[in-house]
Amino acid sequence: MITLLGTGLLGSGFARALRKQGETVQVWNRSPAKALALAEIGATALHDPAEAVRGAERTHVIVSDDAAVDAVLAAAAPGFAKGALVLDHSTTSTAGALERTARWRARGVIYHHVPVFMGPQNAADSTGVMLISGDREIVARISPLLVPLTGKLVDLGPRVDAAAAFKLLGNLFLIALTAGFTDMLALAKSMNVSPTEVATLFEHFNPGTSVPARFKRMIEADHAHPSWELAMARKDARLMQAEADGSGVALTMLPAVAALMDRFIAEGHGHADWTVVAKDLVGGAK
């Protein structure tokens, strides 16, 4: 029997995946209706997290943040037997992952943080990406249990909080991407280009293919051989801002990036590759 604590969109998806794999599933959620709704797939909903985890082969936790993880584990604690296995898919801080791992191990419970890059449908279909790191023996033991729940299980090595760190890094990229799209739509509005028309750009221009190479260039700090000079990138940013200002449309991301560009131009890097704006974070320019 497998227990899920947290049956929001992602937790419900995991419940469906486990049931499709023939597992016996017990579920608990702070809002009982979400757990009760899973009766339709044969999951058993319980009102007490301690009862839900009692006798479970393993427990999966899928809640919102550090505080929620700590609260639900505290409530479930009376039901954990010595050696109980708890797999936490929540997005949390690195400090929280470290502290919980040590605290629950000291209490005889094997807590392991395994965050995911998944949407609800990924969870239901056992696709997407799951991250794991930490104690090598524990990772070797639990990886076969996790592989059926994901399209790809990525082992990030022995550092206990590596999975938490990489999950936050990935989510930051997604936030930045959405911020860029937001400014694109704002700029398009100022130039009378509809959102539907903006979308056609990606039928011809796929910036995703350049992401690994662009990041590699940034961390190698090769700014002396520019593919796009910082001064020229700043000129384009100025044109974009002028279009938006002329129509009274606010841009959110661009002004902050432009200010960063101005700082590095003032320091004499105008003819360097525009990735020079990250030089202080990767060890300096070559």
Arithmetic mean of pLDDT, 249-253? 97
Question: Which pLDDT belongs to residue 284?
Answer: 47
What the chain holds in terms of domains, given with CATH numbers, is 2-160 (3.40.50.720), 166-282 (1.10.1040.10)
Percent of the chain with pLDDT over 90: 97
Per-residue pLDDT, averaged over 228-249, amounts to 98
Q: How far apart are CA 132 and CA 5, in angstroms?
A: 19
**pLDDT category, 285, cuts 50, 70, 90?**
very low
How confident is the prediction for the chain on average, in pLDDT?
96
**What pLDDT does residue 133 have?**
98
| Mean pLDDT, residues 79-83 taken together | 97
Q: pLDDT band at residue 283, thresholds of 50, 70 and 90?
A: low
Q: What is the pLDDT of residues 186-205, one digit of tens each?
A: 999 999 999 999 999 999 99
Contact 148, 173 (CB under 8 A): no
Which two three-digit tokens encode residue 148?
Answer: 């059926």
| Dihedral angle computed from the Cα positions of residues 122, 126, 127 and 129, in that order, rounded to the nearest 10 degrees | 90
Long-range pairs for 169-176 at CB < 8 Å and ≥24 separation?
170/117, 171/91, 176/253
Quickly state the pLDDT bin for 286 (edges 50, 70, 90).
very low
Question: Shortest CA distance to 168 belongs to which of 61, 96, 62?
Answer: 96
Strand locations in the chain (E): 2-5, 25-28, 44-45, 58-61, 85-88, 110-113, 116-117, 129-132, 152-155
Residue 62 has pLDDT above 80, yes or no: yes
> How far is Cα 277 from Cα 286, in angstroms, rounded to an integer?
13
Taking the whole predicted model, whether its pTM rises above 0.85 is answered as yes
Which pLDDT tens digit goes with each residue over 134-152? Answer: 999 999 999 999 999 999 9
CA–CA distance, 110 with 129 (Å, rounded to integer): 22
Residue 35 has pLDDT above 60, yes or no: yes
Conformation bin of residue 108: beta by default, left when phi > 0, alpha when psi is -120 to 50: left
